[in-house]
Chains A and B, each alone.
Chain A
Amino acid sequence: MIDIKNLCVSASDKKILQNFSLSIPLGHVTAIMGPNGSGKSTLANALAGHQDYQVSGVVDFKGSDLLALEAYERAEKGLFVAFQNPVAIPGVNNLFFMKTILNAKRKREGLEPLDASDFMALVEEKAALVGLDAKFWERSLNDDFSGGERKRNDILQMLLLEPDFMVLDETDSGLDIDSMQLVANAINSLKSEQRSIVLITHYQRLLRYVQPDSIHVLMNGAIVKSSDKSLVEKLESEGYQWLQEIE
């Protein structure tokens, strides 16, 4: 699905990721963990094509050079990043935004745009999965949303777009226990042999609900440890200090 080789990312001349390499096969759920400042969110933003980062290396995504694509082209290819801090866009109606991005995708796929009633039926069905309802439709995109509501709104967009490759950047932070369960169920509903998911997280709790196939620990901009899900409990009990000592 995606093959990252020697990815180097810097921002304002500060090197953040250095020779980062990772292959994620189709159908895999991969967790990336690591201490604060290790470069996890930078990885997500760099893959999404954020303009503030300078990148080098090779990222092969479904046969295309991902780094050569504009941000919107990456999304068109099937990449979706659920951001750690989704921005608020005052004035842009939340429901209208979702309808626009969904119909833009349908147009690319040669499908007719959904009419209002079909779209509402779809959005209400998906929104129920993440615990959002009609009171969020008339509001501006993420505007006056709590942190948890923004995260769930991002996941709702993901459910509508049904992307092939999903990167969820600390989606679990800011979610209460019930919301965590809902979001995990929503993520699980998208798991398939044709899709891959990357979960960036600090904590074990999301990984209890969404079982990862592999876990990688990112420190100082590079992967220092890769393992199966058994690594999560060791990290939860012992932290990252022992990995720094090994490093």
Chain B
Amino acid sequence: MVTRNRIDFKDVAAVAVQEESWRRMPVMSFCYQQCRAQPIVSGKTLVTYNGHVKETIVGLQSVEYVHSSVWPGEFLYHEISQFPYTMTVTLTSGTYHWQDSSDVGCAARYLLVVEAGQYCVLHETMQLQDSARNLDIVVKKGASLQHYAALKPAGQMCDHIQVWVEEGASYQQFFAISGQDVYRRSQCFHALASDSQVMVQGMVAVKSQGFVSDHTLLKQHAANTRSIHRVNTILDQGAKADVYSTVDVVPKAPKVTTRQNIRHLLLSEDAKAFSKPALNISVDDVDCQHGAVSRMIDDDLLFYMNSRGLDRQQATQLYLEGYVDTCFKGYPEGDRLALQIKKAIGLLDE
């Protein structure tokens, strides 16, 4: 067993959440332990627990059974990237269900590869606690991955996601994040070649002094690439969210399109939101739009609904239902994510 920089993560996170340093791009360091886990093969699901494969599915290839126990301290990506993947999965056309959970203090490094020309749908349910995770995804030439991510982190969680999208390939992520603890996510998407596209869209619902720090970098390396990043948050009961979104268009990458939108909805006076949408454009002839807004529910909207006989609570619930549905409207599996958010904000029973 190799041990480096072992730090009590809870203490670090508790202090760090109060500090400005948490508003920088997260990084990770960790300790590393390697062992083997016995896989269980069944049905059409992939179950990972404490960073190792617990169950796998028929149709998956190249599964490597390595268990890594990672102790997160600072989130230094360049260090985690030095360690081997705990799970490597190659996806061919089909629909996959992945459940990822852990005990306190574990983390892992996953690699998903979508083979060229394949069309995959991945339903991910993540319920990690006090852990760190690194998920790398490669979408090869002409392939497509629809990634529905239902994220329910608990305790102090760090998540690092990196996605490479090759020529003519498409990666779409629809996410729902709900919780009342601390979740830091750092995502980096690379549209590597012409006609590659990345869409990241979803909603964050936090309450009870919870904190979500979501950092996203969309890097467009080539001409004719497209990216969309839309984040909606609902913050209640002293919750706080930082959302950073940066689109980086490199030189010699004209005719790119990007849309970027961050919307915070504050349900209580003590909720806090911070947005930083940024466009780093190094070339002319691009079509880029970005915007951000933080607000509470407009009193005039509530008044209109009140004037039709709905009390404030009914009107607020109706408004929130619409707000959530709008975020996921039009996507085949969006209802499941909308359901998660509605439960998190109390519109539906858990």
Contact = CB atoms under 8 A, between A and B. Distances in A.
Interface of A: 48-51, 70-72, 74-76, 80-81, 83, 86-87, 89-93, 97, 100-101, 104-105, 108, 140, 157, 161
Contacts of B314: 72, 100, 104
A105 B311 CA distance: 12
B307 A75 contact: yes
Interface stretch (B70-78, B120-128, B211-219, B295-303): B295-303
A86 B304 contact: yes
20 contacts: A48-B307, A49-B307, A50-B303, A71-B307, A72-B310, A72-B314, A75-B306, A76-B309, A87-B298, A87-B300, A89-B301, A89-B304, A91-B319, A91-B325, A92-B321, A101-B309, A104-B309, A105-B309, A161-B308, A161-B309
B305 interface: yes
Interface in B210-268: none
Nearest to B301: A89
B306 A70 contact: yes
B322 interface: yes
A161 B309 CA distance: 10
Contacts of A104: 309-310, 314
Contacts of A90: 322, 326
A157 B3 CA distance: 68
B318 interface: yes
B303 A51 contact: yes
Interface residues of B, number: 23
Contacts of A50: 303
Contacts of B310: 72, 100-101, 104
A161 B307 CA distance: 12
Contacts, number: 75
Interface string B280-301: 0000000000000000001111
A140 B306 contact: no
Contacts of B309: 72, 75-76, 101, 104-105, 108, 161
Interface centre among B299, B301, B307, B321 (most CB of A within 10 A): B307
A89 B319 contact: yes
B36 interface: no
A87 B323 contact: no
Nearest to A92: B322
Contacts of B307: 48-49, 71-72, 74-75, 80-81, 83
A50 B303 CA distance: 7
B343 interface: no
B6 interface: no
Contacts of A75: 306-309
B116 to A, nearest CB: 39
Nearest to A71: B306
A103 B178 CA distance: 31
A157 B301 CA distance: 16
Contacts of A76: 309
Interface centre among A51, A90, A100, A140 (most CB of B within 10 A): A100
Contacts of B322: 89-93, 140
A80 B304 CA distance: 11
B317 to A, nearest CB: 10
A91 B298 CA distance: 13
Contact of B304 (A83, A93, A105): A83
Interface in B18-76: none
A51 B299 CA distance: 8
B312 interface: yes
B326 A89 contact: no
B307 to A, nearest CB: 5
A2 to B, nearest CB: 16
Nearest to B324: A91
B38 to A, nearest CB: 48
Nearest to B315: A72
B202 to A, nearest CB: 16
